[in-house]
Structure 1
Amino acid sequence: MRHIFLLLFLCISMTTLAQENYDSESYRVSLGDLESKTFTKDSTANALVIYEKAKSYVSKSDFDLRTEEKHKIKILKREGFEHATVEIHLYSNGSRVEKVEKILATTYTMVDGEVIKTKLEEDNIFTEKYDENHTLVKFTLPNVKVGSVISYSYTTISPFMMKYHGWSFQGSIPKLYSEYTPSIPGNWEYNIKLVGGQKLAINESEVEKNCLIAGNGASSHCFNARYAMKDIPAFIEEDYMTSKSNYLIKIEYDLKTFRRFDGTLEHFTKTWKTVDKELKSHAKIGKQLNKSVDLEDFLSEDIINETDLLKKAQSIYKHVQNNYNWDEEYLIFSETSVKDLIKNKSGNVASINILLHNLLKESGIEVKPILISTRENGFPTKIFPVIYDFNYLITQATINDKTYLLDATDKFLNFGEIPFKCLNEYGRLLDFKNGSDWIELKPYKPSNTYYQAELHFDDNGVLIGNIKSKRTGYHALNKRKSYFSNKNSYLDKLENTFPYIEISDFEVTSEGATSEDYKENYNIEYNFDEAGNNIYLNPFFVKFFSENPFKLQQRTYPIDFGYKDTYFYMFKLEIAENYKVIEMPKNLNLSLPNDAGQILFSANQLANTLNLTLKIDFKRSKYDAEYYPFLKEFMNKIVNIQNNSIILLEKTN
């Protein structure tokens, strides 16, 4: 029997290998590329990049940057047809434009053992205006079917050496091989950044002497490199992540210095010391921050005369928060100034938080601005200043040796909270006297959720009870926004969430829309399932996670919750004398590796009281990708506990 199983295994393995014989070493379409029908490493993939290569170099004739690209892609499913449409983005600044030439594309399809080649006609290449500075050149490969292999190549020509051509090794479908070979003349010195944290399979470089020669006989050496990666998984976005630009495996270039052939230098990348000096004199940043304000024009005498600095700061914060509206503009260098904000009662992020900064400063409170890149915008570059990486500005206040991060754009934020979108690991604290520095962006308070449900049978055998809940941190912020934005809608949603429960006497017991927590209390009537003498109860009226958010086979980027949090659920059931407990859920104690999280679930009976508790503790705000399979199973356990925990009661008379 063992030999039979071994033979069967070998047959299956050989069949799988026969089905997949891709040539990832060449742009040429092979018979194996066409005959291969699957990609077992990712059965969800609708297409597969078998081979791609790009070469960038500076033209010796006109000094333009040329990039030659070649792509070979297998179409595995109908959903993969979208990859047969290619868009080439070209930039122009009015006087100078990027161009594309030598577009060649062919579809290869196997029909009855014969290879059919269909070439792209020039008439099917289209150009359209995208915006003021961008043009799209588009084409769709012809006669594409499931199983086809498409290949296409083209050359882009760019006069913009400020931004050397970068390369993305990772995309929305898996890749077997991706290679990039840049050649950079010594006149141009770039900061080179490899994003994605993955190792290159090939990382080679050499110096080519006299690769570029000027009209006056001067010459330059070139730095030639070869970068390649193999077996690159598809990047699929999932919950609990920051911008995908942080994690897509790619190489980027930013011009640092340009040396002309006459020896003169022009510097493009600056130091933070230089940037601080420029920001200090910037009309939209430094000059706005340094403007004095007359407190009497904004604040009441009670606020101005308050001697407790924390209470004073909180009152000033509420004044700005309640009297000025955010216009949904993120950009910190837009034309809206503090003067416009005061006049219109509406402005962008920077104007609102600069006004807050100036009022606090005028009131004797130590404040500094912080530049932030929001979660969707991506991490700001740390290795050198890229000021346009930032799209948000908040204020830091230091009161009694304690620091508070403040953002007055959101009507529901509590003093010391910043929006979730700002929890992007770090920001740049501006200090025009001592120099700016990086700071961590941490939540002001923990984010916790507590539920307490107490039930009993009334004289008519109806199961009734009370639910109390309390939330803190971002859990509270989300609930405050939902409830105080539209109370009726909130209640309707709450009742629809629990179709087997009738809710009455609902009340919110916390102080208001900006309170430090959110508390609610309501009575319920539970319409339980009854089968003969048996009653089936699911004790979880509230589900912290209704389904597992982690569904990928593999995740190559971190799981970023933004903050640590804890969930606690306590259920208490007073059992009537004519009932007895037949079945209860099983206890569970499960921890993530390195004690990074824990599930504690217990159910026990003491006399006529049944007690059930669930505690879920995420002890980190961010988990490396290595934790993904453990978190996936962790979430499975949570969902299973909430959905399948059954209490079985039996009537005894």
Structure 2
Amino acid sequence: MKNITIIIFLIIGLRGVSQENYNPESFNVSRGDIESKTFQKDSTANALVIYEEGNSYVDKHDYDLRTDEKYKIKILSTEGFDNASITLYLYNSGRRSEKVKDIVATTYNLINGEVVKTHLDEKNIFREDYNENYTLVKFTLPNIQVGCVITYSYTFITPFMFKYKEWNFQSKIPKLYSEYRTSIPGNWLYNIKLVGGQKLSTNTNEIKKNCLEMYNGASADCGIGVYAMTDIPAFVEEDYMTAESNYLARIEYELKTFKGMDGSVSHYTKSWETVDHELKTDPNIGKQLGKSVDLDDLLPESIIDEKDALKKAKSIYQFVQENYTWNNENKIFKDVSVKDLIKNKSGNVASINILLHNLLEESGIEVKPILLSTRNNGFPTKIYPVISDFNYLIVQTTINNNTYLLDATDNYLNFGDIPFRCLNEYGRLLDFKNGSKWVDLIPASKSSVLYNVELSFDENQNLKGVVKNRKTGYHALNSKKAYFPNINTYLDNLENKSAFIEIYNHQLTSNIESDHFSELYDIEYNQEDTAENLYLNPFVIKFFTENPFKLQERTYPIDFGYQDNYLYIMSLDIGNDYIVEEKPEDIIIALPNNTGSVAFSTKVIGNKVNLTFKIDFKESIYPPEFYPYLKEFMSKIVDIQKNTLIVLKRT
């Protein structure tokens, strides 16, 4: 009987293994590829790249860059059908344009035990003019069903050698194998950058002699590179991250130098010294920064006559905020004009902040511009200058040995604060005299939220109280931007946050110019009451209503943008009509290396219940290995706020 049992379990085990028999070693479709039904490493995957490869080389006849691409993909569910619709973007510039040829696509289905192939008809390949710079080539594989395998291949041709073909190892679906082969002639020198946290399983380079021969008899050796990754997880976006491009595993190329067969040399990647010189003479940056402004024509006398440098700087900053409107354009290398801004009272980010720069400089205050890339635009490259990486400009001023970052595009920003969109780790400070340098973009102070709630029973045993709230930093900024444009909407949203709370007598105890946001209001709490006991959730306000971290694994950092803390204090006067039947247990939780903490405590002193709940995030950015701890950390925070009860018994 034991032997029979063992055999049964072996059969079940073999069946479980046989459900996944993918062939990630070649482009050819195996029966195992088609028969496999699941992907156990990621049960949420709706499709799976079994195999993909790219091979880039310079054509010996036309001297253009060609990439042969092949893909083999398993469709695991109907949600994965989108992977059977392919769109290729072809760039056009002047008389030159990219092309694609030799498109071949096939769908493999298993029907009644037989493999059935359905080929893409050439008439179902479509071209579309997208805009003046791009043409689209689109096709959708035929006969798509759950469980099918699709393959497609094509040759991509580009005359634009300055940007060697990049290769994305990672995408929205998991991959078993991804390989990229390159053949780069020795007269093209590129900066090569591997992006993302995934590691290469293959990384080889060798020299091939005379790989490219020119019409005049000249030849070049080639660097042959082979790069591959295996078992690549899907990239899934989640809260608290910067641009996807910062973390998506890929290899990129930027042309550094081209050496012509005639001996000529052209440098494309420049040094920062060269870039600084070019920016100094650039009509949109350097020349605008050098524009003189007439303080008497622009500023009130009260600002001009101010002797205190910090007060003067704050007044100039506020003047620009209040008198010039940002048109929501991030342009820094096009249409930048201080003159047009002064005339039209509206302009792009560079125009506004360069005007601020020039007013401060004309007033004798030390100031420098900073180029940066916003959070949704990706990190700027540090290892060599790539000016196109930047899309934003702010200024830095130094007064009495204190440094302040300034951006006058937002009326609600305080002096020394920059918008959340700018918190992208670092920027390039331009100093045309001493040379530019990288600077960290760090908020001046922590952001915080404080709620102080006082509750008591009235003569009718209704639970009423007062809520006092004070926010600083980015929490204050967000509340200002919600409150001042539409107060009624703000109050409606405040009351709708809790179905058990009624709010009245709301008062704002700060103003638009305050460096904080403070309010107080009265509340009435509709508590759950039974004949014997009263069950009270003490959290009138909840900082987090759900856990934002839901992934099984996260391979990129958790970027909050700034350090912050939350404090909730509640005092409940139960009078002489109740006693505390049950109070919650105290809780203390810490993140590794003391990088964050949660402290929750409840004390009963006489006829008062005092509760304190504190959350402290001591870092603005946490590495991916902290993810499981943060996930559990946030889960506990939500649980405390949602499920904590104080049980009161009538006396």
**What is the alpha-carbon distance in structure 2 between the residues aligned to residue 272 and residue 257 of structure 1?**
16
Of 209-218 and 338-347, deviating more is: 209-218
Q: Identity of counterpart residues, as a percentage?
A: 63
Letter in 2 for 1:389: D
Report the TM-score, using the length of structure 1 for normalisation.
0.98
1:14 CA drift (Å): 3.2
* Aligned partner of residue 329 in structure 2, secondary structure: coil
User: What RMSD, in angstroms, separates the aligned Cα atoms of the two structures?
Assistant: 1.5
Q: Match of 2:36?
A: 36
**What is the alpha-carbon distance in structure 1 between the residues aligned to residue 459 and residue 499 of structure 2?**
23
* Aligned partner of residue 350 in structure 1, secondary structure: helix
* Aligned partner of residue 41 in structure 1, secondary structure: coil
Asked whether the equivalents of residues 303 and 315 of structure 1 are also in contact (C-alpha less than 8 Å), the reply is: yes
- Residue 43 to residue 296, structure 1, CA distance change in 2 (3 Å): same
Matches within 5 A, 1:125-204: 125-204=125-204
**What is the alpha-carbon distance in structure 1 between the residues aligned to residue 139 and residue 30 of structure 2?**
24
1:94 CA drift (Å): 2.2
- Residue 507 to residue 268, structure 1, CA distance change in 2 (3 Å): same
Q: Match of 1:637?
A: 636
**What is the alpha-carbon distance in structure 2 between the residues aligned to residue 561 and residue 6 of structure 1?**
52
Q: Size of the alignment, in residue pairs?
A: 651
**What is the alpha-carbon distance in structure 2 between the residues aligned to residue 13 and residue 450 of structure 1?**
56
Question: In the alignment, is residue 237 of structure 1 matched against residue 227 of structure 2?
Answer: no
**In the TM superposition, what whole-angstrom CA distance separates every residue of 1:153-179 from its partner, at most 9, and x where no partner exists?**
000111110110010000000000000
* Aligned partner of residue 474 in structure 1, secondary structure: helix
1:92 CA drift (Å): 1.0
Of 407-416 and 12-21, deviating more is: 12-21
Letter in 2 for 1:606: I
Question: In the alignment, is residue 532 of structure 1 matched against residue 531 of structure 2?
Answer: yes
**What is the alpha-carbon distance in structure 2 between the residues aligned to residue 120 and residue 94 of structure 1?**
32
**What is the alpha-carbon distance in structure 2 between the residues aligned to residue 651 and residue 149 of structure 1?**
68
**What is the alpha-carbon distance in structure 2 between the residues aligned to residue 122 and residue 476 of structure 1?**
58
Letter in 1 for 2:574: I
Matches within 5 A, 1:92-131: 92-131=92-131
**In the TM superposition, what whole-angstrom CA distance separates every residue of 1:282-329 from its partner, at most 9, and x where no partner exists?**
111111111111101111111101011100000000000000000010
Asked whether the equivalents of residues 288 and 336 of structure 2 are also in contact (C-alpha less than 8 Å), the reply is: no
Letter in 2 for 1:340: D
1:8 CA drift (Å): 8.2
Q: Match of 2:567?
A: 568
Letter in 2 for 1:477: L
* Aligned partner of residue 248 in structure 2, secondary structure: coil
**What is the alpha-carbon distance in structure 1 between the residues aligned to residue 473 and residue 192 of structure 2?**
39
Asked whether the equivalents of residues 481 and 513 of structure 1 are also in contact (C-alpha less than 8 Å), the reply is: no
**What is the alpha-carbon distance in structure 2 between the residues aligned to residue 610 and residue 4 of structure 1?**
65
**In the TM superposition, what whole-angstrom CA distance separates every residue of 1:443-489 from its partner, at most 9, and x where no partner exists?**
01210111111111111111111111111111111111111121111
Q: Match of 2:363?
A: 363
Question: In the alignment, is residue 429 of structure 1 matched against residue 441 of structure 2?
Answer: no
Q: Match of 1:409?
A: 409
**What is the alpha-carbon distance in structure 1 between the residues aligned to residue 310 and residue 281 of structure 2?**
30
1:12 CA drift (Å): 5.5
**What is the alpha-carbon distance in structure 2 between the residues aligned to residue 9 and residue 611 of structure 1?**
58
1:13 CA drift (Å): 4.4
1:240 CA drift (Å): 0.2
Q: Match of 1:590?
A: 589
Matches within 5 A, 1:256-267: 256-267=256-267
1:10 CA drift (Å): 5.8
Letter in 1 for 2:261: F
- Residue 560 to residue 13, structure 1, CA distance change in 2 (3 Å): farther
* Aligned partner of residue 131 in structure 1, secondary structure: coil
Of 415-424 and 537-546, deviating more is: 537-546
Asked whether the equivalents of residues 596 and 619 of structure 1 are also in contact (C-alpha less than 8 Å), the reply is: yes
Letter in 1 for 2:630: L
Asked whether the equivalents of residues 197 and 555 of structure 2 are also in contact (C-alpha less than 8 Å), the reply is: no
- Residue 9 to residue 368, structure 1, CA distance change in 2 (3 Å): farther
**What is the alpha-carbon distance in structure 2 between the residues aligned to residue 3 and residue 414 of structure 1?**
77
Letter in 1 for 2:293: V
* Aligned partner of residue 498 in structure 1, secondary structure: coil
Runs of 5+ in structure 2 lacking a partner?
A: none
1:16 CA drift (Å): 2.6
Letter in 2 for 1:161: M
**What is the alpha-carbon distance in structure 2 between the residues aligned to residue 357 and residue 9 of structure 1?**
75
1:198 CA drift (Å): 2.0
1:577 CA drift (Å): 1.1
**What is the alpha-carbon distance in structure 2 between the residues aligned to residue 394 and residue 534 of structure 1?**
58
Asked whether the equivalents of residues 480 and 514 of structure 1 are also in contact (C-alpha less than 8 Å), the reply is: no
Letter in 2 for 1:386: V
1:11 CA drift (Å): 5.8
Q: Match of 1:292?
A: 292
Matches within 5 A, 1:439-588: 439-510=439-510, 512-588=511-587
* Aligned partner of residue 361 in structure 1, secondary structure: helix
Question: In the alignment, is residue 308 of structure 1 matched against residue 315 of structure 2?
Answer: no
Asked whether the equivalents of residues 59 and 66 of structure 2 are also in contact (C-alpha less than 8 Å), the reply is: yes
Letter in 2 for 1:28: N
- Residue 626 to residue 4, structure 1, CA distance change in 2 (3 Å): farther
Q: Match of 1:228?
A: 228
Q: Match of 1:605?
A: 604
Q: Match of 1:84?
A: 84
Of 432-441 and 580-589, deviating more is: 580-589
1:514 CA drift (Å): 3.2
**In the TM superposition, what whole-angstrom CA distance separates every residue of 1:402-438 from its partner, at most 9, and x where no partner exists?**
0100000001000000000000000000000000000
**What is the alpha-carbon distance in structure 2 between the residues aligned to residue 71 and residue 380 of structure 1?**
31
1:336 CA drift (Å): 3.7
- Residue 427 to residue 11, structure 1, CA distance change in 2 (3 Å): farther
1:513 CA drift (Å): 1.8
**What is the alpha-carbon distance in structure 1 between the residues aligned to residue 22 and residue 83 of structure 2?**
18
1:4 CA drift (Å): 11
**In the TM superposition, what whole-angstrom CA distance separates every residue of 1:572-613 from its partner, at most 9, and x where no partner exists?**
111121211112222111111111111111112111111111
1:385 CA drift (Å): 0.4
**In the TM superposition, what whole-angstrom CA distance separates every residue of 1:366-423 from its partner, at most 9, and x where no partner exists?**
0000001000000000000011110000011100000100000001000000000000
**What is the alpha-carbon distance in structure 2 between the residues aligned to residue 336 and residue 256 of structure 1?**
29
* Aligned partner of residue 62 in structure 1, secondary structure: coil
Asked whether the equivalents of residues 109 and 147 of structure 2 are also in contact (C-alpha less than 8 Å), the reply is: yes
**In the TM superposition, what whole-angstrom CA distance separates every residue of 1:186-224 from its partner, at most 9, and x where no partner exists?**
010000000003210000111000101112221100000
**What is the alpha-carbon distance in structure 2 between the residues aligned to residue 446 and residue 597 of structure 1?**
13
**In the TM superposition, what whole-angstrom CA distance separates every residue of 1:29-50 from its partner, at most 9, and x where no partner exists?**
1010011000011110000000
1:3 CA drift (Å): 11
**What is the alpha-carbon distance in structure 1 between the residues aligned to residue 645 and residue 90 of structure 2?**
60
Asked whether the equivalents of residues 411 and 514 of structure 1 are also in contact (C-alpha less than 8 Å), the reply is: no
Asked whether the equivalents of residues 285 and 336 of structure 2 are also in contact (C-alpha less than 8 Å), the reply is: no
* Aligned partner of residue 123 in structure 2, secondary structure: helix
1:15 CA drift (Å): 3.1
**What is the alpha-carbon distance in structure 1 between the residues aligned to residue 94 and residue 148 of structure 2?**
40
1:501 CA drift (Å): 1.2
**What is the alpha-carbon distance in structure 1 between the residues aligned to residue 12 and residue 606 of structure 2?**
59
